[in-house]
Amino acid sequence: MTAIISGLSSTSISRLKKTWELIPKTVLLNFHKMDNLMSIGKNYSEYRNMLRFIDEEDEPSLPFLGMFLSDLRFLTDGNPDYLHNNRSIINYNKRMNLTKTINDILKFGEHAYNFTEVKEIKRYLAEVWANLQDDEALYEMSLKLEPRVSLLPAKSKRGKSVSGHGRGHGNGHTSSSGAGTGGVGTSAGSGSYVHPLSANEVTSSSGTAAAAGGSLTAFGIARKRYHTRAAYGMTGGGL
């Protein structure tokens, strides 16, 4: 899921304003729920809470290993191998914490998914993986779909703005940058990217879920009974 979120959040895709506008708001809301779930805010606090509930329900799951690798790196680099600069006293607490983290990873291999291999899908994914394009090529494709729109007003041959005729009479009420007493209008121009869902409609991925009333209750989910599939609209399996 992290790979999907990262791909959709890449510059080549996130800039496609007109394309995003075609996506139903219910789908976008689910996407932002997933984005908040995988946020690195507070050391993946939302995701860690969900993994605890998955472990309690004994459901198969494939966790995001990047979080565990970060834990291992922090424990390895942030703790000395020996105590008090005395190489005769081993820091056993460091070893115990490393072992616990590794065991937490291995636990997720105890319950296997009951998947049936579909050779066509497997072959298709192999072909896609073998022909992946680099970021530069993807960005060029993005520009072909939705070319850049300049934020500057169009210029006439004499160098004057042709977007605002006459004098502005309001206090910044003109929609374009016309000369006169009205000053510069308040519109940012059609080239600026504004997500289809405003900040009032959806929570961003900056870790604000916790401020909305607790780590899991921000999604309207009772903490005592947190079923991952029902909470995120999934029909089977864990994350």
Structure confidence by residue, pLDDT tens digits, 85-105 = 878 899 999 999 999 999 999
- Per the prediction, the chain carries an average pLDDT of 74
Residue 34: band (very low, low, confident or very high) from pLDDT cuts 50, 70, 90:
very high
| pLDDT per residue as tens digits for the range 101-144 | 999 999 988 888 898 999 999 999 999 999 989 999 999 999 99
Residue 20 covered by a domain = no
The answer as to whether 156 is a domain residue is: yes
Beta strands in the chain (DSSP E): none
| Residue 31 amino acid letter | F
Please name which of 145, 180, 142, 188 lies closest in space to residue 164, comparing C-alpha atoms.
Answer: 180
Domain count, the chain: 1
Q: Are the C-beta atoms of 67 and 31 separated by less than 8 Å?
A: no
pTM of the predicted model, to two decimals?
0.56
What is the mean pLDDT of the segment spanning 222-227? 40
Residue 237 domain flag: no
The pLDDT of residue 219:
40
Q: Is 183 domain-assigned?
A: yes
Is 162 domain-assigned?
yes
Question: pLDDT band for position 154 (50/70/90)?
Answer: low
Residue 211 belongs to a domain: no
Residue 160 resides in a domain: yes
CB burial readout 81-102, b (16+ within 10 A) else e:
eeeeeeeeeeeeebeebeeebe
Rounded mean pLDDT of 59-70?
A: 92
Note whether residue 172 is domain-resident. yes
Rounded Cα distance between 221 and 209, Å, is 12
What percent of the chain is predicted at pLDDT more than 70?
62
Taking Cα atoms as reference points, which of 68, 58, 53 lies closest to residue 108? 58
Note down the domain range covering 175.
152-187
